[in-house]
Amino acid sequence: MAIAAKIQACIEGSSWIRKMFEEGGRLREIHGAENVFDFTLGNPNVEPPRKFDEELLAIARTVPPGIHRYMNNAGYDDCRAAVAELLAEKSGLDVTGAQIMMTCGAAGALNVALKTMLNPGEEVIILSPYFVEYKFYIDNHGGVPVVVPTNPDTFQLDIPAIEKAITPRTRGLIICSPNNPTGVVYPAESLRDLGLMIQRKERELEKQIYVISDEPYARIAYDGITVPNIFPHVENSLIVTSHSKDLALPGERIGYLAVNPRMTHVELFMEGAIFCNRTLGFVNAPALMQRLVARLQRESVDIAAYQEKRDILYHYLTEMGFSMVRPDGAFYLFPKSPFSDDVEFVRMAQKHQILLVPGAGFGAPGYFRIAYCVDKAMIERSLPAWRAVAREAGLK
């Protein structure tokens, strides 16, 4: 065998994603790109805020000496301080740069966090529907993912079910709010109840259980909702996030890990994380991006434009008979599949040039995901095709 058996199996297991991707290319050739409605990727279609370009040009004009050199593996102090300042405001806690490490996106931060905490065979609870990469990241560091479903009607936390899944082998839990793929936001009371339950289990099992809050969509929330911060509610918590979505910089790989200042052994955790950032081969987060995001902590892309797209799709699709939870954030809808086999439904939609991801890809068969970080004009052009899909599926 030319490559590791495990990797070969992973590639084969996800080959249907590749097939769908290839099918999209084929449909574009036949019908023209204008007539193919691709809702598969969480890749923002918008440009970063204007201030990003202004700051980038300002740096390019001055070119500070040493700008391209290595720095502390945790990142530039001023960037960490800028991140900490906003987090202190949001959490009401005394967060300082000492609890922040700049990373290569939320993905980098997740891998660092998991490597720092996991002994071989320890369990990490993930909540379905989940961001599929969690399983691979946990496995990267010798951990074992344990899947617990969220409430099937609301996609909110099912705290008794999480409690039941906690064993002496549990090391952590990953939550994501606003959620990919459902778009739901966990309210503060829910985080508080989660924190109380975790604290009780920590006492009972005499061990630290980490709650990792994966929140790259935290600034993408609608109807004036503020996404509650995890820190006041769960002591042994950490935030992994990035500017991939809120500043539309996914290709630039810039994010951070923030550790709750009240975490038990907080300094040791940070020391471990900085070591892992180095030895996983990330070394440090991209220098130029750190200089930029240090100045852009209070900026974000146009959230109103995303809300408008959510409103259009939610309105028309529910009118056509699709059933879904109305999301409060992120840029995804996760409707029920009209067919019990979600892959079959996605194939049928493809015949109408609508490209979707089946819920099975998120550990939640029976649903499908729409990523609406696409042009509004494409959404509008897609409506007749959606109507045809609804008719063929026997909805209204």
Q: Which residues form the interface with ligand PLP (CB under 6 A)?
A: 42, 105-107, 131, 176, 180, 214, 216, 242, 244, 250, 255
Least distance CB 141 / ligand PLP (angstroms): 16
Q: In what order do the strands lie in the sheet with 255-259?
A: 100-103, 255-259, 237-242, 210-214, 170-176, 123-128, 144-149
The nearer residue to ligand PLP, 27 or 176, going by C-beta atoms, is 176
Nearest by Cα to 320 from 227, 396, 381: 396
Nearest by Cα to 73 from 243, 285, 389, 369: 285
Least distance CB 392 / ligand PLP (angstroms): 30
Question: Packing angle between helix 376-392 and helix 303-319, nearest 10 degrees?
Answer: 20
The nearer residue to ligand PLP, 27 or 175, going by C-beta atoms, is 175
**211 backbone dihedrals φ, ψ, rounded to 5°:** -105, 115
The nearer residue to ligand PLP, 103 or 116, going by C-beta atoms, is 103
Least distance CB 139 / ligand PLP (angstroms): 16
Query: Where on the phi/psi map is residue 356: left (φ > 0), alpha (ψ -120 to 50), or beta?
Result: beta
Structure token pair of residue 152 = 């099937």
Nearest by Cα to 355 from 56, 23, 50, 11: 23
Least distance CB 357 / ligand PLP (angstroms): 12
Instruction: Compute the distance between CA of residue 343 and CA of residue 337 in angstroms, rounded to an integer.
Output: 9
Least distance CB 132 / ligand PLP (angstroms): 10
Least distance CB 125 / ligand PLP (angstroms): 16
Structure token pair of residue 333 = 């809808």
Contacts of 348 (CB under 8 A, 6+ apart): 339, 389, 392, 393
Amino acid at 237: S
Least distance CB 157 / ligand PLP (angstroms): 16
The nearer residue to ligand PLP, 108 or 335, going by C-beta atoms, is 108
Least distance CB 105 / ligand PLP (angstroms): 3
Instruction: Compute the distance between CA of residue 125 and CA of residue 284 in angstroms, rounded to an integer.
Output: 28
Beta-ladder partners of 336: 367
Give 62-71's long-range contacts (Cβ < 8 A, gap of 24+): 67/287, 67/288, 67/291, 68/287, 69/287, 70/283, 70/284, 71/284, 71/287, 71/290
The nearer residue to ligand PLP, 216 or 261, going by C-beta atoms, is 216
Least distance CB 167 / ligand PLP (angstroms): 25
The nearer residue to ligand PLP, 24 or 255, going by C-beta atoms, is 255
Question: What's the start-to-end Cα distance of the chain, in Å?
Answer: 52
Least distance CB 176 / ligand PLP (angstroms): 5
The nearer residue to ligand PLP, 42 or 327, going by C-beta atoms, is 42
The nearer residue to ligand PLP, 155 or 386, going by C-beta atoms, is 155
The nearer residue to ligand PLP, 131 or 322, going by C-beta atoms, is 131
The nearer residue to ligand PLP, 210 or 386, going by C-beta atoms, is 210
Q: How far is CA 121 from CA 8, 113, 139, 210, 246, in A?
A: 22, 16, 9, 16, 35
Instruction: Compute the distance between CA of residue 61 and CA of residue 137 in angstroms, rounded to an integer.
Output: 39
